[in-house]
Amino acid sequence: MKKNIFFKNTGRISLIAGLFATALLSSCMKDTSPGTINFGNSPALVGFQYYGFQATPITTPIHGTPQDSTGVEVTLSVASIALKTPVTVTLATDTTDAQAYVTANGGKVLPASDYSLVNNGKITIEPGQQIVKVWVKFQGQNINFSNNYVVGLKITNANGAIIASNLNVAILKLTLQSIYQGTYSIKGFILRVNGGVPDTKLGGNFNGYTQELSTIGANQVGFVVLWADGSDAGSVDGTSFTVDPATNAVTVSATGNATLTNAPGYNSRYDPATKTFYVSFVWNTPGTRASTDTLTYVGP
């Protein structure tokens, strides 16, 4: 049972990035029939595979600690019948077009200190290649999850090719995603006592459920409390896990129930090596509601 709530490295938080683009460069056609122009010796054209302000969503995890910046791919294309020599492309940040997008659509331009272009934005397209990937790295620890950010990139030079003027700008729209977000398998025990009598239907051991923990903040994900039969516990809306990235300690709380808190004496924590939450929490009248859960990451 899965309950819904809301590149790389094992302890990353998570960014959703949108690369604004819609058109793929087409290879030039060589036609030697009478009365046509031979484009066989035409220079190569280079540009972003996607362009413009039409969003194509890309999910980009962004971590909340300095050692775990994360990246997103940007794709370049070259249009040529047969590229005979390497083409060296240089990219640069483009705050002008990014600001134009923000003015028209809202959001904020991401500060330059919060990201960088891998290899200083230089990439080589070798003969035989038509599509190559460029990496943009983000410093997740600096990025405020409450803002909708935009990054602009521009091709400033293409040694050995002509820059396609309508494909020379890419806009990245970033939506942040916690590294703790994902689908988890759940096993554990839940206590439900009414009138001093334990409920053996809704309370007890459970195993085999799955649930998606969704992003609330850089280090906070939403969780749905389940009874032993898999139904929602209710009266505990807005339950979440907040991870201290320095110690991996987990605080359990609920916006819909102020009595929900960590169980005394239990070490609620997150294990980044196994991507597992170990949590125990109580709510309502002491001794009537409690749950101890183990949640293990199984996929996005």
Instruction: Dig out the tokens for 136 from the structure.
Output: 């943009």
pTM over 0.75, yes/no: no
pLDDT of residue 39 exceeding 80, the answer is: no
Average pLDDT across the chain, whole number: 79
Domains and CATH numbers, the chain: 17-174 (2.60.40.1740), 182-299 (2.40.128.420)
Of the candidates 278, 273, 276, 275, which has an alpha carbon nearest to the alpha carbon of residue 293?
278
CB-hemisphere CA count at 13 Å for 112? 8
Who's near 148: CB < 8 A, 6+ residues apart?
Answer: 106, 107, 108, 173, 174, 175
For residue 212, pLDDT over 80 is answered with yes
Whether residue 19 contacts residue 134, with contact meaning beta carbons closer than 8 Å, is answered with no
Percent of the chain with pLDDT over 90: 44
- Which 8-state DSSP code applies to residue 82? S
Positive or negative torsion for Cα 36, 41, 44, 49: positive
Sequence letter at residue 5: I
- Cα(37)–Cα(273) distance, integer angstroms: 61
Residue 2 has pLDDT above 80, yes or no: no
Which comes out higher in pLDDT, residue 62 or 130? 130
Q: Alpha carbon of 70 to those of 50, 179, 194, 197, 236: distances in Å?
A: 21, 10, 48, 51, 34
| Residue 167: band (very low, low, confident or very high) from pLDDT cuts 50, 70, 90 | confident
| pLDDT attached to residue 83 | 79
Q: Give the model's confidence band at 42: pLDDT under 50 very low, under 70 low, under 90 confident, else very high.
A: low
Q: What is the mean pLDDT of residues 28-57?
A: 54
Instruction: Between 82 and 158, name the one with better pLDDT.
Output: 158
